Amino acid sequence: MNERFFLLPAKKQHAMINAGFKVFSCNSYKNSPMSEIAQAAGISKSLLFHYFRNKKELYLFLWDTCARTTIEHLSASGCYEPQGLFESMEKGMRAKMEIIRQYPDMANFAIKAFYEKDPEICAAIQESYHKYFNFKADKARLNMDPAQFVEGLDIGMMYREMYLASEGYLWEMVQKGAVSMEKMEKDFEKLLEFWKSIYLRKE
């Protein structure tokens, strides 16, 4: 890509990135024209090609932006630091809500990209995913002391259940379009309290 892209004002960069997320999340890779992305960004098609040589380059840049942004927000939230499980989950979920505020279509794009089968970009996406996934797994150092949970609990299964429920909730809200951050925060607080009432050992 043309490094001059990063010399643009942040607002213009943001507009192009969000335009790419929006168009690619609504269509397959093959059926997402660069002209539509340019129109959504409020620029000419030729200018878009000035910064990104072709559609593949733009798509992989957006995927990398998605992965880096997620890790940066999660790291900044403190959710990877040693602490209790529920404290970590709350920080992580709030970080993801902040990402949705900034990039409303990024979650849809990420899911669409992960399952994209077009041979032009499929292998690159999967290779990048495993690189970032391994980083995330290495960074996740949670306090999983069994003594804090109910006796005999399968901690791995509990964590997986809560993770899938959280991701599923975010996906459902994103699909509805206009996302209410206030509602999401309240709903997630209720979820956390519910899980604590089930899984934490009673005094």
Asked if the model's pLDDT at residue 26 lies above 70, the reply is: yes
Q: Which amino acid is at 109?
A: F
Q: Using one digit for the tens of pLDDT, what is the confidence trace for 170-183?
A: 777 766 765 677 78
Q: Using one digit for the tens of pLDDT, what is the confidence trace for 77-92?
A: 888 777 777 888 888 8
Q: Please tell me the distance from the alpha carbon of residue 14 to that of residue 31, in angstroms, as a whole number.
A: 23
Sequence-distant (≥ 6) Cβ neighbours of residue 83 within 8 angstroms: 142, 143
Q: pTM for the whole thing?
A: 0.75
DSSP track, 88-118:
HHHHHHHHHHHHHHH-TTHHHHHHHHHT---
Asked if the model's pLDDT at residue 139 lies above 70, the reply is: no
DSSP track, 127-173:
HHHHHHHHHHHHH---B--GGGB-TT--HHHHHHHHHHHHHHHHHHH
Q: What is the mean pLDDT of residues 34-48?
A: 96
Q: What is the mean pLDDT of residues 168-197?
A: 80
- Tell me if residue 66 falls in helix, strand or coil: helix
Q: Using one digit for the tens of pLDDT, what is the confidence trace for 14-24?
A: 999 999 999 99
Least confident of 12-16, 46-50, 167-171, 184-188: 167-171
Nearest to residue 53, comparing CAs of 25, 68, 34, 66?
34
Q: Which amino acid is at 138?
A: D
Q: Please tell me the distance from the alpha carbon of residue 181 to that of residue 193, in angstroms, as a whole number.
A: 18
In the chain the first and final C-alpha atoms are separated, in Å, by 58
